[in-house]
Structure 1
Amino acid sequence: MTTAAREPSLLDATCEDFVYDLADITPTLATQIGIDGHDGELQDFSPAYWDRLADRIRDLVADVDALNDSTDQSDDEDDFDDVDNLTAALLRDRMTAQLEFHHRGELLRLLNSIESPVQTIRDSFALMPKVTEEDFDTIASRMSRIPSALAGYRESLAEAAAAGDIASHRQIDAVINQCELLAASESQLDELGLSPDSAVVDGAKEAFAQMADWLSTELSPQAGHEDGVGRERYTLFAEYYHGRDVDLDAGYEWAQDQLRETIAEQERIARELYGDASVAGAYRRLNGEHRYTIEGTDALLDWMTEVNEAAARAFGVDNTVECAIDPAGSGGIFYTPPSDDMIRPGTMWWSVPAGQTTFHTWQELATVFHEGVPGHHLQMSAALDNRAELNMWRRSVCWNAAHGEGWALYAEHLMADRGFFDDPGYRMGLLDSRRLRLARVLVDIGVHMKKPTPDGNGTWDAQYAKAFLRDNTAMPEANLAFELDRYMGWPGQAPSYALGYKDWVDLRGQALAQGFTEEEFHAKALSLGSMPMDMLANEVLNH
Structure 2
Amino acid sequence: MSDSKPQPTDASVNGPRETTPIDAIAEKWVETLTELNPAIGTWIGSPGAHSGYADYSPEGHAGVIDATRSVLAHLEAATVIDDVDLVTKTEMVSTLRLDLDSDAASLWMRDLNNLASPAQDIRGVLDLMPTASSDDWSVIADRLRNIPAAIDGYIATLRHGIDQSVVPAQRQVAEVITQAKQISASGGFFDDFIAGARSLTGGDSTLDSALTNGASEAAKSYQKLEEFLRTELAPRATPQDAFGRDLYALESRGFLGAEIDLDETYEWGIEELARMTREQEAIAREILPGATVAEAIEHLDSDPSRTLHGTKALRQWMQNLSDEAVDALAGTHFDIAEPMRALECMIAPTHDGIIYYTGPSDDFSRPGRMWWSVPESVTEFTTWREATTVYHEGVPGHHLQIAQAVYNRDQLNTYRRQLAGTSGHAEGWALYAERFMSELGFLDDPADRFGMLDGQRMRAARVVLDIGVHLGKPKLDGTGVWDWDYALEFLTNNVTLDPANVRFEVNRYFGWPGQAPSYKVGQRIWEELRDECKAREGASFDLKSFHRRALNVGGVGLDTLRTALLAPYEQH
| Structure 1 length-normalised TM | 0.95
Counterpart CA distance in 2 for 1:262 and 1:429 is 12
Q: Which residue of 2 is the match for residue 73 of structure 1? A: none
Give 1:401's match in structure 2, choosing from 419, 423, 431: 423
Give 2:559's match in structure 1, choosing from 514, 534, 538: 534
Counterpart CA distance in 2 for 1:161 and 1:516 is 56
What does 1:197-212 correspond to in 2, within 5 Å?
A: 198-212=212-226
1:38 Cα deviation from its structure 2 partner: 4.6
Counterpart CA distance in 1 for 2:353 and 2:277 is 25
Identity, % of aligned pairs? Answer: 39
1:213 Cα deviation from its structure 2 partner: 0.7
1:512 Cα deviation from its structure 2 partner: 2.1
Give 1:493's match in structure 2, choosing from 500, 515, 525: 515
Residues 144-163 of structure 1 show CA distances to partners (whole Å, capped at 9, x for unaligned) of: 11111111111100111111
Tell me whether 1:23 sits opposite 2:25 in the alignment.
Answer: no
Tell me whether 1:414 sits opposite 2:436 in the alignment.
Answer: yes
Give the conservation status (yes or no) of the 8 Å contact 1:335–1:347: yes
Q: Which residue of 1 is the match for residue 278 of structure 2? A: 264
Residues 198-219 of structure 1 show CA distances to partners (whole Å, capped at 9, x for unaligned) of: 2221111111111101100000
Counterpart CA distance in 2 for 1:81 and 1:323 is 39
What does 1:310-389 correspond to in 2, within 5 Å?
A: 310-316=324-330, 317=336, 318=338, 319-389=341-411
Give the conservation status (yes or no) of the 8 Å contact 1:331–1:482: no
1:226 Cα deviation from its structure 2 partner: 2.1
Tell me whether 1:135 sits opposite 2:136 in the alignment.
Answer: yes
Tell me whether 1:430 sits opposite 2:440 in the alignment.
Answer: no
Give 2:296's match in structure 1, choosing from 275, 282, 303: 282
Query: What SS does the corresponding residue of 2:367 show, helix, strand or coil?
Result: coil
1:35 Cα deviation from its structure 2 partner: 1.7
Give the conservation status (yes or no) of the 8 Å contact 1:23–1:29: yes
Counterpart CA distance in 1 for 2:168 and 2:41 is 28
Give the conservation status (yes or no) of the 8 Å contact 1:229–1:449: yes
Give the conservation status (yes or no) of the 8 Å contact 2:55–2:61: no
Residues 290-320 of structure 1 show CA distances to partners (whole Å, capped at 9, x for unaligned) of: 1211110000000110111121122113513
Residues 156-183 of structure 1 show CA distances to partners (whole Å, capped at 9, x for unaligned) of: 0011111111111111111111111111
1:325 Cα deviation from its structure 2 partner: 1.2
Counterpart CA distance in 2 for 1:270 and 1:115 is 35
Q: Which residue of 2 is the match for residue 160 of structure 1? A: 161
Query: What SS does the corresponding residue of 1:99 show, helix, strand or coil?
Result: helix
Structure with bigger RCO (C-alpha 8 Å, 6+ apart): 2
Counterpart CA distance in 1 for 2:130 and 2:559 is 38
Tell me whether 1:9 sits opposite 2:20 in the alignment.
Answer: yes
Give the conservation status (yes or no) of the 8 Å contact 1:189–1:201: yes
Counterpart CA distance in 2 for 1:538 and 1:43 is 34
Q: Which residue of 1 is the match for residue 5 of structure 2? A: none
Say how many residue pairs are matched.
533
Q: Which residue of 2 is the match for residue 505 of structure 1? A: 527
1:37 Cα deviation from its structure 2 partner: 2.8
Counterpart CA distance in 2 for 1:538 and 1:27 is 32
Give 2:494's match in structure 1, choosing from 472, 497, 522: 472
Tell me whether 1:525 sits opposite 2:550 in the alignment.
Answer: yes
Query: What SS does the corresponding residue of 2:268 show, helix, strand or coil?
Result: helix
1:82 Cα deviation from its structure 2 partner: 1.5
Query: What SS does the corresponding residue of 2:54 show, helix, strand or coil?
Result: coil
Give the conservation status (yes or no) of the 8 Å contact 1:363–1:474: no
1:340 Cα deviation from its structure 2 partner: 1.5
Structure 2 counterpart of 1:359, which letter?
F
Residues 80-121 of structure 1 show CA distances to partners (whole Å, capped at 9, x for unaligned) of: 221112111111110110111122221122111111111111
Q: Which residue of 2 is the match for residue 62 of structure 1? A: 73
Q: Which residue of 2 is the match for residue 306 of structure 1? A: 320
| Consecutive unaligned residues in structure 2, runs of 5 or more | 1-8, 198-207, 331-335
Q: Which residue of 1 is the match for residue 260 of structure 2? A: 246
Give the conservation status (yes or no) of the 8 Å contact 1:432–1:473: yes
Query: What SS does the corresponding residue of 2:110 show, helix, strand or coil?
Result: coil
1:252 Cα deviation from its structure 2 partner: 1.0
Give 1:216's match in structure 2, choosing from 230, 234, 238: 230
* 1:208–1:100 distance in 2 versus 1, CA, 3 Å: same
Give the conservation status (yes or no) of the 8 Å contact 2:55–2:153: yes
Give the conservation status (yes or no) of the 8 Å contact 1:50–1:102: no
Residues 507-538 of structure 1 show CA distances to partners (whole Å, capped at 9, x for unaligned) of: 11122221321100001000001222232223
Say which is worse superposed, 532-541 or 147-156, in terms of deviation: 532-541
| Structure 2 length-normalised TM | 0.91
